[in-house]
Structure 1
């Protein structure tokens, strides 16, 4: 199994999340994203908690819609408990807003968040990580 990334996002952001997933896959990583990998009739919670331990990192897309999505926070907490790398991307929202509205810095303060306009730097770093794990 190769390097796998769990992509966490709000339903309203599924198009943007799918564009990010496409770039991640193009670099050679595997992904898990609910809109693509959970089928009708699946137990959503069971699938999430089965797949998350199989991943190497969690990519969380924060938007004004996502900060109120409880599952995003659950997935981040679970990833933290598993010791996974957590990458946060910010689109039209700041860490200070997340902290003021949700107290999110408890989970995110130590993370080096990336603004969506600098997302290319994340892809460059991911490419480097993938080169280190490839045989």
Structure 2
């Protein structure tokens, strides 16, 4: 069974937090993709992002006050949505009501369960089960 690829979408201001999430994903046996860690300096940034998103099994999007207006975050969500892969919304500095009340938030995101960053262990436990289940079947 191939690795469980997890794309982590975030704003540049949230890089440190995104790196911690990536470390936790790796500890669960997943393979995280984080732009700062996985794209070489001088590489075709958009091509690398698109290539990994084409292969990813799921997307974690870290929504903070900084990421709400970042075009790349929304483009990455759109790509994941079109592929039909799970999109895990993690909030920091926002409540679900704050996020859902934004007029530009797509309905398909408003309907999802959202986690506060302090609840991410719930997601990580499920990821670990998916990774372990894939190993048993592979």
TM-score, length-scaled by structure 2: 0.91
| Match of residue 51 from structure 1 | 52
| Match of residue 16 from structure 2 | 15
| Match of residue 112 from structure 1 | 113
Contact map agreement 2:59 2:87 (CA 8 A) in 1:
yes
Contact map agreement 1:98 1:105 (CA 8 A) in 2:
no
TM-score, length-scaled by structure 1: 0.93
Alignment root-mean-square deviation, CA: 1.3
1:67 partnered with 2:68: yes
Contact map agreement 1:5 1:55 (CA 8 A) in 2:
yes
Contact map agreement 2:100 2:110 (CA 8 A) in 1:
no
Segments ≥4 residues shifted beyond 4 Å: none
Q: How do 1:56-95 and structure 2 match up within 5 A?
A: 56-95=57-96
* Structure 2: 5+ residue stretches without partners: none
Q: Secondary structure at the match of 1:103?
A: coil
> Displacement of 1:102 after TM fit?
5.0
Contact map agreement 1:91 1:116 (CA 8 A) in 2:
yes
* Structure 1: 5+ residue stretches without partners: none
> Displacement of 1:129 after TM fit?
1.4
Aligned length: 135
Q: Deviations over 1:31-58 (max 9, x none)?
A: 1110101111111111111110111000
| Match of residue 40 from structure 1 | 41
